[in-house]
Amino acid sequence: MKRVAVFIDGSNFYNGLRDNVGRMDVDFHRLGKLLAADSEGELLRIYYYNAKVDPDYDPDNHEKQQRFITHLAHTPYLTLRLGKLVYYQVRGEDTGRKHYAVEKGLDVKLAIDLVRLAVNRACEVAVIVSGDKDLAEVVEYGKEMGLEVVSAFFPRGMSEQLATRADKVVYFDEKTLSDIFIGNQNSEDEDDEQQPLTNR
């Protein structure tokens, strides 16, 4: 059976969930298993990428993120990769915000992980959960290393560059993701049959 590694662009996925589904209470292990099953494989590992919020600049979101990181730490087969946020001062017209933040280094971390797994022949399929066009080159790297590369995201938000370069595209919607939300899970075994995803 093919081994499947799932790479989640955390902030991009969060924004996609917020804009398309309106909820973020994701069981990431179930999401990983769903994506692996869609590729007719077994889940090797989930890599989750996010940037660490600075408590000096954004104490409220830092506290929320710490709770979320604790949640991720209890997720089976998930590795958290933290990058950094670089904060810039807002200039000009008063917007009510003093700073804005830009993520740095996460694309590189994702690319390194993907290439490392490919070189070590640790997996055959890489699923990239993001709609960010900046990851199109990562898709190419994976394909050149002999991986089957899948782009998975919501139709509204999937960049054309990702959609056209991937070997396969998986489109999320509220129905196909319904089983991965913590509030929707019932007492049945989590290995029960799940809704198939929508593919290109």
User: Rounded distance, CA 132 to CA 162, Å?
Assistant: 7
Read off the pLDDT of residues 36-53 as tens digits, 9 standing for 90 and up: 999 999 999 999 999 888
Between 184 and 119, the more confident residue is: 119
Beta bridge partners, 171, equal: 153, 198
- Residue 60 tokens read as 């409220």
Residue 177 neighbours by CB under 8 Å, 6+ apart = 21, 31
* pTM to 2 decimal places: 0.86
Q: What percent of the chain has pLDDT over 90?
A: 64
Mean of per-residue pLDDT scores for the chain? 87
User: Rounded distance, CA 60 to CA 11, Å?
Assistant: 17
Cα four-point dihedral sign 7, 60, 85, 132:
positive
Judged against a pLDDT cut of 60, whether residue 164 lies above it is answered with yes
Residue 155: band (very low, low, confident or very high) from pLDDT cuts 50, 70, 90? very high
Fold for 2-51+105-188+195-199, please state it.
Rossmann fold (3.40.50)
